[in-house]
């Protein structure tokens, strides 16, 4: 494992960010942008699925799903770059490990939601099924927990 982490720390983007405060700042800002886009799309979607608001989910849903996916892609790519700077240090941080586990749970929840009959019914009729509402509530809690775990990293 140490060999893999050492290799990761020597990747070109890791060396470049360790050598440039400006590059690190830009990648960090990109990470924050990705997180903002992810949560800024997921939370309104989840709240609508739970039953708040009146906007037709068949119109709102596909747009917010794509925005959340884009935010997730940006956050994961930039997060990987940030992690590669000091991978061993991050892996020894309990908050980082919690964040990673919570994100995996979030991705499992997204997969369950989007492959469910309840999701298909919601997108067909505009009326969220009870199972869709439950998974939306779980989603909102998971992604807020991931955000908190991410903030916690700097305090441990």
* Residue 156, pLDDT above cutoff 80: no
Residue 62: enclosing H or E segment and its boundaries?
helix 57-83
* Residue 1, pLDDT above cutoff 90: no
Q: pTM of this prediction?
A: 0.90
**31 neighbors 37 (Cβ within 8 angstroms):** no
18-43: average pLDDT: 96
Q: How many domains, the chain? A: 1
pLDDT in tens, 38-83: 999 999 999 999 999 999 999 999 999 999 999 999 999 999 999 9
Nearest residue to 12 (alpha-carbon basis) of 81, 71, 79:
81
Residue-number span of the structural domain to which 64 is assigned: 2-153
- DSSP-H helix ranges across the chain: 2-9, 12-19, 21-50, 57-83, 87-91, 94-114, 117-125, 130-153
Residue 30: C-alpha distances to residues 50, 71, 93, 114 (Å)? 30, 10, 22, 27
> Is 85 in a helix, a strand, or coil?
coil
pLDDT confidence of residue 140: 98
Distance CA 19, CA 69 (A): 31
């Amino acid at each position: 494992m140490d060999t893999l982490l050492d290799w990761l720390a020597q990747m070109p983007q890791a060396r470049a960010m360790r050598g440039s405060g400006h590059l690190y700042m830009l990648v960090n800002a990109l990470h924050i942008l990705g997180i903002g886009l992810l949560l800024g799309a997921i939370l309104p979607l989840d709240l609508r699925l739970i039953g708040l608001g009146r906007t037709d989910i068949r119109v709102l849903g596909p747009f917010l799903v794509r925005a959340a996916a884009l935010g997730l892609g940006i956050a994961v790519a930039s997060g990987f770059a940030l992690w590669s700077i000091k991978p061993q240090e991050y892996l020894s941080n309990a908050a980082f490990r919690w964040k990673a586990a919570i994100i995996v749970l979030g991705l499992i929840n997204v997969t369950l939601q989007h492959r469910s009959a309840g999701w298909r019914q919601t997108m067909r009729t505009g009326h969220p099924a009870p199972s869709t509402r439950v998974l939306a509530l779980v989603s909102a809690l998971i992604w807020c927990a991931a955000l908190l775990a991410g903030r916690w990293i700097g305090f441990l």
